[in-house]
Every structure is written in C-alpha cells, then in structure tokens.
Amino acid sequence: MPSQDGLSPSFVETVAGFTAGIVSTLCLHPLDLVKTRLQVDRATSSSRLGSSFRIIREISRHEGGLTAFYRGLAPNIIGNSTSWGLYFLCYSSLKDALRTCRREQMLTSSDYFLASGTAGIITAVLTNPIWVIKTRMLSTGSQVPGAYPSLSSGAKQIYHAEGVSGFYRGLLPALFGVSHGALQFMAYEQLKIHRAGLTDPHSPVEDGKIGPNRELGNVDFFVISSLSKVFAGCVTYPYQVIRSRLQTYDAHLVYRGAVDAIAQIRAREGIAGFYKGLGPNLVRVLPSTWVTFLVYENTKSYLPRLAAKA
C-alpha cells in the first residue's frame, strides 16, 4: 500500500537495498577478491595476515596490476545489488506480515530472526548462480587457462559443461549461511530499539525510530551495524570457506559435497582451515557493513522526502 508520500514501503526498501549493494561493492571489491583467493587456497593451513599480502603481491605482479583487483566486478555488482534489493524487499514484507498476523507493532527477537532467515533463504536460492560465477572469476586470474572472461561467458560454460546443477554448487552451505544474516539482523533490530530507548526513554519506540520527529543518526547506525556484524561473523564464518571451496572450477573433482569438504578441510588443514581469509574478511566486512547500512538507512529516509517535495 502506498504511503502518504506516494511511495510504497516495498519500493523504498528495494531501491535502498539495491543502492547499498552497488555502493558497497564498488568500494570494497578488491578486498573481496583477496578474501576469495584465501578461502579457496588448499596449499596452506595458515590464515595469517601475511598470506593476504602475498596474494596482493602476486596479483599485482602477475595479473595486470591495479585492474586485476577488479576482476569479477560485474557479477559482484549484479549479485550484491540484486541480493540486497531482494533481501530488504522480502524482509520488510515479512515483518509487515508478522505484525498483521499478530496485530502488534513491536516484534520480538524470534520474529526478526524468522523474517530475516526466510528472506535470506529466498535470496540465496535465487542468486546462487551469480555467486558461482563470481567466485570462479575472483578465484583465478584472467590469464589462467579456462578462466571465464566475463559473466555471460561463465554462464554459458557452466551450462554446457555442468548443466543447470552447476549453477547451484555451494547452495547447501549458502543456505546454512542464512543463519549469519538472521543473527545479524536480529541483533541489528534489537540494538536499534535498545539505542532508541536509551536516547529517549519516554518516547514510543518502533523499529528503532524515536517518536514522530526523531530518528537514529549515522553514528548510531555505524556502531549498531558494527556490533551486529561482528557478532554474526564470529559465529558463522566457516560456511563461507566451505561455500567458496564448493564453487571453484574443479570442486566436483576434489569434493563429493559439503560434508566431504568439511571432512577434508578438517583433516588436512585443521580448524584454522575453516577461518582462511578471516583477516581480510574482518578488514572488509566492517567497512562493507558501514557502507551498506548507512547507504540503506539514508536512502530509505531520503526517498520519501524526495517524493514529498516532488
């Protein structure tokens, strides 16, 4: 249903999420590339920061300098923008549905977990083909034999060589990874409400908003998004390594599935193997979270105001 400014909440959520996905990807794609290279590395068991610098040097010297760090940018932008737009659309719609069913404005932690988890499952299933191509492009240089030169070329090669099932490699750990988003958004929403209550304990609180005219500021979103991301990341990071391993070019020759990948990583690389790439991921994840949520919250706030002036 359209709001008084003429924009439906679903439209606002989708545009805000889509914009946030594009901006965060453009800013932080090189770190994503380094993280992916570390995740798919089966040669060493170390996840030390020195491994990140080694990969950066190799890319710079042997793959074309600065431009090599933006290999796979197209599928990453398409994947992130589509994922965030779709995710926030589903998440907002599910929260509204829960409020309608319960006839309440305030939702519980379990409600936020359910809404974000369901939205994450829908998004993961629909966008997994993009992530397969993105992972393969980021995991190898453009000059490696068999490397995909583009998104469309990668899609054609996967379809001809592996069929439709090739687009859904790594889906099982990706679905498990939905718990990451569910935990993050559960913490994010509760921290927003808690912060709003601390700011003005006498004002009614709804989804982090404070009364009719006061809202949380950028510093609040900065701190809240950081805390929620660190919390979720510490719990769920290993699934990203497993997913990346299962999405590489030769995954079908090395692993029989997610369970086999877990067993091999555990046997050959130890527990540290499940945390490969954690260093650059921690460097990347917080700036990415800051950019994503600040752009999302500000775009969501700005669109109705822009429509009201029009």
Express the helix, strand and coil content of the chain in percent, nearest 5 each: 75, 0, 20
Among the listed residues 75, 186, 175, 187, the one whose alpha carbon sits nearest the alpha carbon of residue 120: 175
What proportion of the chain, given as a percentage, has pLDDT over 90? 31
Residue 143: pLDDT band (50, 70, 90) is confident
Residue 293 has pLDDT above 80, yes or no: yes
- Would residue 3 count as lying in a domain? no
Domain membership flag for residue 87? yes
pLDDT of residue 210: 42
pLDDT the model gives residue 303: 84
4 part of a folded domain:
no
The enclosing domain of 122 has a CATH number of 1.50.40.10
Q: Which residue range forms the structural domain that includes residue 222?
A: 9-309
- Assigned domain for 1 exists: no
Q: Specify if 85 maps to a domain.
A: yes
Mean pLDDT of 250-267: 89
Select the more confidently predicted residue: 294 or 284: 294
Query: What average pLDDT does range 112-140 have in this prediction?
Result: 92
pLDDT of residue 125: 94
**Buried b vs exposed e over 125-134: b needs ≥16 C-beta within 10 Å?**
eebbbbbbbb
304 in a structural domain = yes
Mean pLDDT rounded to a whole number for the chain: 83
Per-residue DSSP letter, 41: -
**Is 21 part of a structural domain of the chain?**
yes
- How many independent structural domains does the chain possess? 1
Q: How confident is the model at residue 276 (pLDDT cuts 50, 70, 90)?
A: confident
Residue 153 lies in a domain: yes
Looking at per-residue confidence, does 144 or 93 come out higher? 93
